Amino acid sequence: MSDLKIQDILFCAAFAGEIDKLKSDPQIHTFEAGIGELEAAINLQKYLSDPSTWKPKAILGIGSAGVYTWIPRKEWEGKFGISKVFANYQIAFLDKKIRLPESMTFKYEFSDLQFPFDGADFVESATNGTGSVTLEDLTPRAMERIKGEGLGFENMEAFGLAKVCNLFNIPFGTVFALTNKVGPKGSEEWKLSWRKHSDRLQEKILSYL
């Protein structure tokens, strides 16, 4: 178990519903960063740049994530996902439908982060921060790259938050409610499940106080 305490962490969510239970406890620090990697990154950078704000020992993105199909559902359903490796691979880029400058940074890793919780309820994998939601089955080319780099989760804000934390030299990770399989029915599955899974995740975190 890590020496890092829940009270030392800033929990960053995309929207209020992902941190509403945590906000009810005065021991926990929360921040609504906004939806999407760009908005989340800008808002977190503004927060950390303000000399009057509380400075955390670590930052954890909290919310929900889809799971890529190379991980069997039986291995993640009903569990929580944790990450400390974050990539930024647009699916169209992996399929060579778009071009991005080779000079761009596509991955951050926070290997020194030690999560303050553990156990069989948590599944660890790298996260692909796409900035969007994948609504198609991945082609063999894209799937080979995703699986080869161990990217199990997809989330819209993670990479933006990771980029800012890297800039400020703050340990960063994510803890997700695993709500759906990535693919054509992912958004509908998320809509039906995010609330109950968010409640479970927040209650789990509160149990570590």
DSSP per-residue letters across 68-132 = -TTS-HHHHTTSEEEESEEE---HHHHTTSS---TTS--EEE-TT---S--STTEEE-EEEE-SS
Whether 17 contacts 197, CB under 8 Å: no
Whether 201 contacts 174, CB under 8 Å: no
pLDDT by residue, tens only, the chain of 209 residues: 478 999 999 999 999 999 999 999 999 999 999 999 999 999 999 999 999 999 999 999 999 999 999 999 999 999 999 999 999 998 888 888 888 887 788 999 999 999 999 899 999 999 999 888 998 999 999 999 999 999 999 999 999 999 999 999 999 999 999 999 999 999 999 999 999 999 999 999 999 99
